[in-house]
Amino acid sequence: MNDVINLLKSHRSIRKYMQKPVEEDKVKAIIEAAQSASTSSFIQAYTIIRVEDREKRKKIAKLAGEQSYVEECPLFLVFCADLNRHKLACKMNKVEMVEGYTESFITATVDAALAAQNAMVAAESMGLGGVYIGGIRNNPDEVSRLLNIPVNAYPLFGMCLGYPDENPGTKPRLPMDLVLKVDEYTIEGDEERLRAYDEIVKEYYLERTDGKREDTWTGMMAKMMSKVIRPHMKGFLEKQGFRMK
Amino acid sequence: MNDVINLLKSHRSIRKYMQKPVEEDKVKAIIEAAQSASTSSFIQAYTIIRVEDREKRKKIAKLAGEQSYVEECPLFLVFCADLNRHKLACKMNKVEMVEGYTESFITATVDAALAAQNAMVAAESMGLGGVYIGGIRNNPDEVSRLLNIPVNAYPLFGMCLGYPDENPGTKPRLPMDLVLKVDEYTIEGDEERLRAYDEIVKEYYLERTDGKREDTWTGMMAKMMSKVIRPHMKGFLEKQGFRMK
């Protein structure tokens, strides 16, 4: 279609980086692009923490589940959903902020995600590659302490960026007719579609691992989704002021 | 920097569209780009409903708070966070899906948002413009009924797309030093920065409205955030199976 579409469609996670730093003008362009993303009613409810301190990087790498690239990548950003500037805006205008509703949790979380995706696209457009680090939610409390993240904010995910030192292929996505519905949601026929997709994913892993890995998508999802993942999130978010009223 | 960065930085919401339809190959490219976005552990936990039915459009426009462009835009997409394929994957692999945890709510919501932002960027790269419609969360229950959205899924936002028939300027974002922090979160100095930003936003509205509108950012935020917004979301999400355990 065009170069942008091709760029978007060529996304794959990059976890190995050349030792070359990311130029400061590129860092600036990445953040500006992030800030240009859509934002719910202009609230811009996120903060990005750039972690340069090597000790903190090392600790976060460990807290995120031994993800060494968090330590090694040239640029590491932590995206936080954040309502502190709104609290301050309320104070400056002598009103009280209403806190703890699920809706403002959603708005801030989505705002942070939209900004992050723009950051990723901007980075990739300049020859960089990266990966989201949802693993910081393994130990969000420790990560928050380490980065001094206050109440009314929480670390949603990290993002490693740098010049790629690997060139993995793109991962086959779900067939479009599973994801795109017209006029109403239907699940009819999805099981057959998933079986066909399982074959594609199996092929992908077999080829990528010289026949060693034989995973299917439904198999991986069944394994993952039949376990409790990060049950501490509710308690952590409450502590941060996101009480899901 | 480059054309992609320029494209990202030139984003503004478009709410008026030419009557020209969006070509089917472009719709396909938009969805493919959306699906190419990063996804937490490959879960791809979202469904996009393309609403073509005029009666449904009319109803959603009304439910979203009289947003007529929902009815008028050539292409209207509803992005749903969706764990139904994962439930099916569990069934196909004879295990039970663990349901109702906050973490899977976050994962699915973020996945939907990342996909949507790629869709917006893809659309804009092809000369289209659009706007997110968070307003569908005004009446998420009715929207879900209308689109047959089942348990384990919920409508996060809509997206209007089409060829622009207006050309608004970009909105000035928060100064970067409010949004980007290094090594730790600090709020020190933010009040002064917000006051400076208020002046920029005031200028922007004055200029844009021939001196009629004099809003500041903190003023708008204080007004909005001191009111309860969409308190029904918790109950609605629980009904949809997102119980925030």
Closest B-chain CA to A12: B38
Q: What is the pLDDT of residue A177?
A: 95
* Domain extents in chain B: 3-167+227-239, 176-214
Residue B74 Cα, gap to closest chain A Cα (Å) = 14
pLDDT at B159: 98
- pLDDT tens for residues A105-120? 999 999 999 999 999 9
Mean pLDDT of A194-202: 97
* Fold adopted by B3-167+227-239: NADH Oxidase (3.40.109)
pLDDT of residue A157: 98
Q: Are A166 and A14 in contact (CB under 8 A)?
A: yes
Mean pLDDT value across residues B220-241: 97
- List CB contacts of B198: < 8 A, sequence separation 6 or more: B216, B217, B218, B219
Mean pLDDT of chain A, nearest integer? 97
pLDDT higher than 90, residue B163: yes
Q: Three-class SS of residue A87?
A: helix
Q: Mean pLDDT across the stretch A27-48?
A: 97
Query: In this predicted structure, what is the pLDDT of residue A50?
Result: 98
Mean pLDDT of chain B: 97
pLDDT value for B1: 80
Mean pLDDT of B170-180: 96
A217 contacts in B (CB within 8 Å)? 42, 89
Angle (CA) A224-A228-A234 rounded to 5° is: 130
Nearest to B106 among A31, A42, A233 (CB): A233
Mean pLDDT score, A96-106? 96
Task: Provide the chain A residues 60-79 that lie in CB contact (below 8 A) with chain B.
Answer: none
Cα separation, A92 vs B1, in Å, equals 37
Which residues lie below 8 Å from residue A3, measured CB to CB, with a gap of 6+? B3, B4, B125
Per-residue confidence (pLDDT) for residue B23, from 0 to 100:
98
The H or E element spanning position B29 is helix B24-35
Superfamily of domain A3-168+228-239, CATH level 4: NADH Oxidase (3.40.109.10)
pLDDT for the residue numbered A140? 98
pLDDT tens, residue by residue, A115-134: 999 999 999 999 999 999 99
Residue A139's H or E segment, with its range, is none
Contact B171 A42 (CB under 8 A): yes
Indicate which of A213, A221, A244 best probes the interface with B, i.e. most B CBs within 10 Å of its own CB: A221
Angle B151-B152-B155 from CA coordinates, rounded to 5°? 85
Predicted pLDDT at A1: 80
Chain centroid to CA A86: 23
CB neighbours of residue B11 within 10 Å:
20
pLDDT of residue A9: 98
CB within 8 Å: B229 and A101: yes
Give chain A positions within 8 Å (CB) of B83: 225
Using CA atoms, how far apart are residues B209 and A34, in angstroms rounded to an integer?
27
Of all residues in chain B, the percent with pLDDT exceeding 70 is 100
Q: Examine the pLDDT at B36 and tell me if it is beyond 90.
A: yes
Whether residue B54 is predicted with pLDDT greater than 90 in this model: the reply is: yes
Residue of A nearest to B170 (CA): A36
Inform me whether the C-beta atom of residue A8 falls under 8 Å from chain B C-beta atoms. Answer: yes
Q: Which two tokens stand for residue A188?
A: 């009819």
Chain A, residues 112-141, CB within 8 A of chain B, namely: 113-114, 116-118, 120-122, 125-126, 131-132, 134, 137
A32 neighbourhood in chain B, CB within 8 Å: 5, 9, 176
How many Å apart are CA B2 and CA A127, to the nearest integer? Answer: 11
